[in-house]
Every structure is written in C-alpha cells, then in structure tokens.
Structure 1
Amino acid sequence: MANDLSTPLRGRKHRVDGGRHHFPLARTLFGVSIVILLGALGRIVLVDDPLGGRPMAEVAITSTRDANAVANAVAVPNASAGATSPVTITADDQQFPAGQVPLVPYEPAETTPRPSLEVSLIGTGVLPELAEETVNGIIPRMSPTGLGPFDAYRRPVDEIAPNLAKIAIVVTGLGINEQGSMNAIDQLPADITLAFAPYGRSLVGTVNTARASGHEVMLEIPLEPFDYPQNDPGPHTMLTGETPRANLDKLFWLMSRFGGYFSVMNNMGARFTASAGDMSPVMEELGLRGLGYLDDGSSNRSVAGQLAEANNVPFTRATTMLDANPSRPAILSAIASLEAQAMETGSAIGIISALPISVQTVSEWAQELDAKGIVLVPASALMK
C-alpha cells in the first residue's frame, strides 16, 4: 500500500468522470444559428423580392369610374375638368335634364291641407277679420278698422222707454251637458244672455245654435278661488302667483274653445279678482281684443271694475245670484228682489245656473214682464 501511495502521478491516466465523453451541444447550436443568419442576409442581398416570398397573383382591374350615368348627371362638374354637354336621362318614360334626375322616385305624401282661416270659420258665425289663429286655435281680436267682438257679436237692442226698468238675466254653466243646454236654448227668450263653460264636447255646435236662436253668448273663464284646489273651477284655471305669461297662455286656450262671444265672465275667482297684479294683464288683454267683462258679483274684493275702466273694457257687475237655493219658491223670491232693485235704480242683472228648475222658472217669469213695467234686455245693454 505504501508503494501505491508514494508512486508519482505522472504517467497515469486519470479520468475524474469515471471514463465518460461529453457531446459539444452548445457549440453545435451556435454554429447552426450562424449559418441560418448568413443565409437570410445573403437572400436579402442577392434576391429582389420586396414581398418577402408571400404568394401573390396579378389580375386585370376594370375601373368603374364614371359608370353611374345618373350619379354623373346630378354631380357638380369639376371646374378644373373640361365641362361636357348636359346629358338627358330617361326615367319612367320622362325626360329629365342633367342635374334634375331624382335618384329615388318622389311620391308626395297624402296629407290633408290645412284649411284657410275663412274656411275654418264657415258655419261658425265668426267674422274672419275678428279672428286670430294661434297654436291653440282661433281666438277673437280687434279688427284693423277698430271693430271689436263686443260690438260685433252682442245682441242689438231697440230703443227702450226711459220709464221702464231693465233687467238682464245671464244663464251660466252651459255647454257641459249638451242636451240640457239645447233645452235651455229652446225654452229661454232670446234676450236672455247665455254663458258657456269652456269644457263641453260639442261647444261649437251648441254655441252656434244659441246664436242662431238670437241669444248673445259669453265665455266663462275659471279663476282661482280662496279655497283652491279644494274648490276647483276646472282645467286651465288662472292662478295668483303665476307669471303673466303663464296665465295668458291659459287665457288663450280658454278663448279658443269656441267663437262668437262678445264678453267673458269669471267662474269663481274671489282670490284672483282681488289681486290687481294678477288680474291686470288679463284685463289689459281683453281691452286690446275688444271684449267685455262681466263680474258675477260673488266677491266684494274684486278689482275688475277699476281695471276694466283703465283698459276701456265694457264692464258690468251682477247683483243677485237667483238660484243659490235651487227651488222654485226660492228662485221666485230672488227674482222679486231683483225686480225691486231694477225699479229703484233703473236696471239690475241676475245670474242663474242652467239647472232645469232654474231655466223653467225664469222662462215662465219672463212671459209676465210686460204687466210689471219691466223690460228684459241682454246683458250687453247694461255694460258700460
């Protein structure tokens, strides 16, 4: 053993890995990469192929420029290009000069043309010169000659002896019940004024019947009462605190429901008629349009009289509500009070609703006036 340990290493074959040999993989891969890179560079340099070997095919292309004759006909010629003679195109057996050929055949829509103002007023008894078209419909106006609806549509009155007391009766709430309104028109004397609410379905026809029977007619406009909205006079009620424009828009809608009325009157409105700031624009508009105003007398705080005078609006105020108690005895008692007032002051105006009992009672009463020294007149005759 000592000899083996002391023997020199020289001349001995020593393999640390037990005698196995390594393959030079890394060197081989490096060499292959160099060969591929050199081949690619050589192809780029030596071969003229900008598409990089992608497949391609050459085909003949036929231009479609100027192929659409209709499009060419309506196109605007290029100023830089030489102008050519216009071409006439035939379409649907019609000749169209260049620039006027319809790309799509035009078929006008079947629409009903809007009738003229004169046509719209046929059969209504409304004068065209006293009518103004609005988005809501036709509303009254003053004519260019100064004729207003008050003078044009009120019932004419013969000269009345000065010793006779004058009484006017206004029936309110007409138009909502068509049959009831027609019955009232048939029963009541022509000198009784009829006031129509703006909500009936057949207002125009009913109003035309009333005017054809000799009655003058009024438009009722809903105004805000103190207990609104618990007590609501109807849609488009004019309200305090709203802008003048908003209330005038409501007024124009109300005024367009029918025509031929000479005046308006309030439906409720104790709060509104007591507010000069809210009532003033309305009264100013009535004055500009030549309409009258009747105050139903239900509120002592109403400033309608002062505003009407300031705006040259024909005005009067009713004195008695005749059927606050809708029974025949109560109505006759209220009429008796109205007669006494007329005899004392020379005139009086009573308001009555369109209830059948009210209409019948007033109709029978009117037949006995001649013996009392009282004459029945339309309300317009008592308006200043």
Structure 2
Amino acid sequence: MNRNDHLRRNVPRRRQSIVLPKRRHHLSLALIFLILLIGLPLVWAQLFGNDDDAVPKGTVSVATLPEDQIPSPLDRNNSDLPDLLAATVPMGDNPTDSIVTTDALGNPTPSSPAASKPASPKSKTIRLPDPRPAPTPLDPSLTRSSEFGPIPAPNGAGVTPLETYRGADKTDLDSKPVSVIIGGLGINAPLTLRAIDELPPEITLSFAAHAPGLQGWINKARLAGHEVLLELPMESEAFDAQESGSDRTLRTAASVPDNRRNLHYLLSRAQGYAGVINYNGEAFLRRSDAVSPILTELKASGLGLFIDGAFDAPSLPALSQSLSLPYNTAFGIIDPAPDRALINQQLDTLIAEAKSGSGAVGVGFVYPQTLDAVKGWAATLSDNGLILVPATATLK
C-alpha cells in the first residue's frame, strides 16, 4: 500500500448530487396525455361510428281530451248549482261587508276594501324660513374726510351710520330682549369664520381695529346678517406698549389732538359698523377729561358706544347723555376664562339680568368654548321668555 492509497481512504466521501427530471419534461408528458385523452374518442367515432344513429326514428301519438270532459264544474255554465246564501243575503250584496274585525288595540276595522282604503292625504303647506335680508350697501355719503381717509359721519339728511348699519330689531312684545357681543374678531381667521357662520345673526360681532383685511371681514359678517362694532383700544391699568395696536391706543397721557388723531385712524380702517366698543380702557375711561373729547368725536361720527362692563366708569353715562350719544354699558364679561362651565354660569346670570330689567347685554371673546356655549344658550331663550336682539337695540 502506497502513501496515495492511504490518503485516498482517509478523504471523506462526498455526497453525489441527484439530477431530478426537469419541470418542462413533466409538462410535455402531461400535455401529450391530455391530447390523447381527448383526441382518441374523436378519432374512434370518426373511423368506426354510424351517422344514422343520430337521426330520430318513429312517432308517438297522444290523444287529446274532449272539451266536454274537462273535470272542472267552475268552468261550466250550470244553472243547477245551488245558491247557499239566497235566503240570507239579498242579490247583489257582498256578505263580507257586514263583517267587523278589530285591530291589535281592539278598535273596529271594516273588512271591505273600499272601507279600509286610507283617506286621501290632505295637502300640507311647508313654510320655509324667510330669506335673510341683504345688508344695506355701504353708503359713501355716510362718511367725512380725515387725514387717513373716510371716517363715519351722518349724511346731509341727518341719517347716521348707526341707523343705517344696525341690525334688524325683531323685538317681541311678549318677550324681553337680551343681547350678546362677541369680540376679538379678525385676528384668528378660523375662529372668526366660526363666529360669522355658526352664531345666530342676532349676535353682534366686534372686530379688532388692527385686524388684517378688516373691511373684508366686516362685509362677510354683514352678509351673514350680523351687525358689526369696531373695537377701540384704550389704556388699561396694565398697559403694554409692546402689544399689537398699542401705538394707536387712546391714552390718558396723550394730548387731545393726538388722541383725536388716533381715533380717526382707527375709524378709517373700514366702514359698515354701527358703533364702537372699548378694548380694555379701565384707566382711560375713568378720566373724564381724557374721554370727553373722544365721546364728542363719536357723536359727530353718528355711531353708538358700548362699554363691556368689566369695570366701573361712573362718569360715562352722564357724559354720553349730555351729548345725546347712544350709549349702553354691558352686563359684563361672559367668559372671564375659556372654561365652558364658567361661561354657562355667566350666561345663566345674563338670563336672570335680562328677566329683571331691559336691554341686558353680555360681552364675550372669540374662544371656541364661548362660541359653543353661546350657540346652545341661544336655543333656550324662548323657553325663558326672552328674545335675542342685536346689541344696538339696547342703546339708550
């Protein structure tokens, strides 16, 4: 035994690969078998079959039944059939008409088809709600010139913007009026759209004077039936000079010409509003020397004035009355915080205030919670003997 034989015996044997038949081979065999299975019977019939086997041969006759032997007495005109009801039911009467049946509740129901036929329905009249009247078009004659452009003013006939642009008053003599003003509009577009589209048209909408696209917002609100107010920023006790619109805020330290100039700028931002309402202002409105020239300008503009009632301004009623300026102080803020339970509580208090007096007005902000609460609250007013009216209907 040589060395190579020894190595050959110690090398592990490798497994031999098995060659399987190819899939194509199996498919070919199956196809040939299928052709033979179908073709052989056809070939056999062609070679050894007889064509005469497919031709029908012979006839079968079926006798018809004579007509007079049809076994149905109902088809015969036989006068000998007895009339079993001749002694009890007159000729021509339907015996089932006298049968009275009862329904599931024991009520008698007639059995005849004619009696049971439902009466023809009476015509119904469907009353559609009156179409919302189109807003009064903007009237250029209800303006006067300022260095910033047109601002509101009565026209030559003495007609004022308040009279022209106020909302329709649908006061019911049997119901006491109540009003709501929703403010802060024009800054947040989605919430502004919600207020315009979802709130009843009797809700008065108040727009921030520095809102972008202010005239477009006012036009849209008026088209939806709302009357509109313009918010005038006024100095608060915590006045922030960095707040948006603060450069046009009416301030106690400003001179009368400067405050008048800022007022004209604010009033020139748009047209179509019926009045104005304060935005903040507890510091400014408590100073009669600062506020008196502003009230004189508002009177000359033919507008109404609302104060939100969040604070006391004792001199305002007397000053407004002395100028014959249409004026009203609201009941207060209905949403001191965006909390639905708190807002509902304030709205209930507003209902009580409206029942005990006349012309109660609540002021809210365009919080989502406020919009939802006011919508639900407005639907309950008729049950409380109240009617929702535009805020200008409460002006004194």
Q: TM-score range by the shorter chain?
A: 0.5 to 0.7
Distance 2:242 2:281 in 1: 10
Q: How many angstroms apart in 2 are the aligned matches of 1:145 and 1:190?
A: 29
For the 8 Å contact 1:124–1:208, the answer to whether it is kept is no
Deviation at 1:201, TM superposition (A): 1.4
Aligned to 1:222: 233
Change (3 A) 1:226 1:191: same
Residue 332 of structure 2, aligned match among 309, 320, 323: 320
Deviation at 1:364, TM superposition (A): 1.7
Q: Where do 1:22-37 residues align within 5 Å?
A: none
Q: Does residue 190 in structure 1 map to residue 163 in structure 2? A: no
TM-score, normalised with respect to structure 1 = 0.65
2:391 counterpart of 1:379: yes
Residue type matched to 1:380 in 2? T
Task: Please give the residue correspondences for 1:227-246 in structure 2 after superposition, counting only pairs within 5 Å.
Answer: 227-229=238-240, 232=243, 234-235=245-246, 236-246=248-258
Paired residues for 1:104-119 under 5 Å = none
Q: 1: distance between equivalents of 2:353 and 2:136? A: 37
Query: Which residue is equivalent to 1:176?
Result: 187
1:274 aligns with 2:286: yes
Supply the distance in 1 between the matched residues of 2:359 and 2:300 (Cα, whole angstroms): 28
1:342 alignment counterpart = 354
Amino acid at match of 2:216: G
Aligned residues: 261
Whether the 8 Å CA contact 2:204–2:391 is kept in 1: the answer is yes
**Partners of 1:225 and 1:364 in 2: how far apart?**
32
**Equivalent pair of 1:217/1:262 in contact (CA under 8 Å):** yes
Q: 1:346 to 1:183 in 2, by over 3 A?
A: same
Moved over 6 A (4+): none
State the alpha-carbon separation in 2 of the partners of residues 369 and 154 from structure 1: 22
Give percent identity, aligned residues only.
Answer: 33
Structure 2: distance between partners of 1:214 and 1:256: 23
Letter aligned with residue 288 of structure 2: A
Query: 1:65-110 CA distances to partner (integer Å, 9 max, x unpaired)?
Result: xxxxxxxxxxxxxxxxxxxxxxxxxxxxxxxxxxxxxxxxxxxxxx
Tell whether the 8 Å contact from 2:136 to 2:165 is kept in structure 1 after alignment.
Answer: no
Distance 1:291-1:347 versus aligned 2 partners, 3 A rule? closer
Q: Is contact 2:170–2:389 with CA below 8 Å preserved after alignment?
A: no
CA distance in 2, matches of 1:156, 1:207: 16
Whether the 8 Å CA contact 1:233–1:267 is kept in 2: the answer is no
Give the SS at the match of 1:206: helix
Indicate the residue corresponding to 1:207 in structure 2. Answer: 218
Please show how residues 355-366 of structure 1 align to structure 2 within 5 Å: 355-366=367-378
Compute the TM-score of the two structures, normalised by the length of structure 2: 0.63
Aligned counterpart, 1:257: 269
Unaligned runs of 5+ in 2: 1-134
Tell me how far apart the structure 1 counterparts of residues 146 and 240 of structure 2 sit (CA, whole Å): 29
1:156 equivalenced with 2:172 (yes/no): no
- Amino acid in structure 2 at the alignment position of 1:208: N
Q: 1:128 to 1:359 in 2, by over 3 A?
A: same
Unaligned stretches of 5+ in structure 1? 1-122
Partner of 1:368: 380
- 1:302 Cα deviation after fit: 4.5
Q: Which AA in structure 2 matches 1:225?
A: S
Alignment of 1:166 onto 2:182: no
1:159 to partner: Cα distance: 4.2
Give me the whole-angstrom Cα distance separating, in 2, the residues matched to 1:256 and 1:125: 17
Cα distance in 2 between the residues matched to 1:181 and 1:380 = 21
- Structure 1 Cα separation of the partners of residues 148 and 190 of structure 2: 26
Q: CA deviation at 1:142?
A: 1.2
- 2:307 pairs with 1:295: yes
In structure 2, what is the Cα distance between the partners aligned to 1:318 and 1:368?
A: 21
Aligned CA-pair RMSD: 1.8
Q: What is the DSSP-based 3-state SS (H/G/I as helix, E as strand, rest coil) of the residue aligned with 1:271?
A: coil
Q: Specify the code of the residue in structure 1 equivalent to 2:395.
A: M
Offset at residue 124 of structure 1 (A): 9.6
In 1, Cα distance between equivalents of 2:319 and 2:228: 22
Contact 1:124/1:259 (8 A) holds in 2: no
Task: From the superposition, tell whether residues 142 and 245 of structure 1 become closer, same or farther in structure 2 (CA, over 3 Å).
Answer: same
Alignment of 1:26-105 (within 5 A): none
Cα-to-partner distance string for 1:95-153 (whole Å, 9 max, x where unaligned):
xxxxxxxxxxxxxxxxxxxxxxxxxxxx9932111022333122111111111111111
Shift of 1:234: 2.9
Which string of whole-angstrom CA distances, capped at 9 and with x for unpartnered residues, describes residues 151-204 of structure 1? 11101213421x422110000100111222111100000000000001121211
Q: CA deviation at 1:232?
A: 4.8
Residue matched to 2:147: 135
